[in-house]
A = this chain, B = another copy of it.
Amino acid sequence: MTSPLVLSLDAMGGDHAPQAVVDGAALFFKGRKRQVRLLLHGDEAQLKPLVDAHKGLSALCEIRHTDSEVDMSAKPSEAVRRSRGSSMWNAVEAIRSGEAHVAVSAGNTGALMAISKVILRMKKGVHRPAIAASWPGPKGFTTVLDVGANVECPPAQLVEFAIMGEAFHRALHSVERPTVGLLNVGQEELKGNGVVRDADQLLRSAGLEMDYRGFVEGNDISLGTTDVVVTDGFTGNVALKTAEGTARLVAGWVREALTSSVIAKAGAALLQLGALDQLRAKMDPNSVNGGVFLGLNGIVVKSHGGTDAAGFATALRIALEMADSAFLNQIEHNLSLLAAAQEEDSETGQAALQQETA
């Protein structure tokens, strides 16, 4: 299985599926030279006319019919039990079977994670998968993880995220040696909770091959102070949703300012010719659409449920970058170093305990 690269799509997942999925696929192929093929899992009766509406698309896509799909509100445990043969299940199964390189879905996040875990299983040495998100900054993108899969994380878990996030960032953004920071609060009175402090210690002492830079704060995500920002899924999810909300609020203010008076409108009209479109492109949430599941034996990309065709095309571009990388193999060395460090820790702990009780 070398070339062409094959992406496996849950064509029925997401609020605007299957239309946004097929239109997104067409957008994705625009101006693309290299060979990529898509598998579209879903209802052929709906998919065929949508594909045929785009000239040349049917030659690049293969429709894999199923009339079952996962409900957007299904619970993860339910989804695993009842969704065998659904478009989402089949999209992920095609990764396991080796037919495709990366799966993409805009469906129910919890169901997709649960199904992916059951079908692909965790990579050796990984205890829990994480979801990584890309956030734009002044110099490029910051990778933030976990953004939702794991609400509570012990210190070693955060170190695993650091290992996976670092390799992911290298793969996706072609940075040779990504810098890694651990999200914390900076007030003098508190150096963070015990978990974060212990994770910091472990990151420093485990001898990982990683450019770990210590603690960063919330504003460092947008500043791009480090390439990778590591946190638990609760904090990461809140931080990214807060950032999205703020970006939208400020964008709304900009729009308001540009249309609030005749003079402003004239100014805005002139700006349209120039740089305002670039600004729009930067602020477009579609440009960062696509959380990647890390830590499984295979790569799954989760698009926002509410995404449109442009956003889905971005998710496909991310999937393609990932399909092409060997990042799954790059984490093995650091994972084994982490395991060794933990073993040593527990031996030292046991020795101390024996001494105490002696």
Contacts and interface: CB of A to CB of B under 8 A. Distances in A.
A209 interface: no
How many copies, total?
Answer: 2
Interface string A233-271: 111011111111111111111101110110110111111
Interface stretch (A16-24, A147-155, A198-206, A317-325): A147-155
A235 to B, nearest CB: 5
Nearest to A113: B189
Contacts of A249: 136-138, 222-223
A219 B239 contact: no
A233 B271 CA distance: 42
Contacts of A279: 253-254, 256-257
Which of A218, A237, A266, A273 gathers the greatest number of chain B CB atoms within 10 Å?
A: A218
Contacts of A267: 266-271, 273-274, 276
A278 interface: yes
B244 A218 contact: yes
A332 interface: no
A75 interface: yes
Given A149-B189, A219-B244, A246-B246, A282 B264 contact: no
Contacts of A271: 257-258, 263-264, 267-268, 271
A185 interface: yes
24 contacts: A110-B187, A110-B189, A110-B190, A111-B188, A111-B189, A148-B187, A149-B189, A151-B185, A151-B192, A185-B233, A185-B238, A218-B239, A219-B241, A219-B248, A221-B242, A222-B249, A231-B238, A234-B235, A239-B242, A247-B250, A250-B283, A257-B276, A257-B279, A261-B274
A187 B254 contact: no
Contact of A218 (B241, B270, B274): B241
Contacts of A242: 218-219, 221-222, 239-240, 242-243, 246
Interface string A95-116: 0000000000000111101100
A353 interface: no
Which 4 pairs, one residue from A and one from B, show the smallest C-beta to C-beta distance? Answer: A110-B189, A218-B241, A267-B270, A219-B245
Contacts of A73: 188
Interface in A47-103: 73-76
A76 to B, nearest CB: 5
Contact of A274 (B247, B250, B260, B274): B260
A233 B190 CA distance: 10
Interface string A27-47: 000000000000000000000
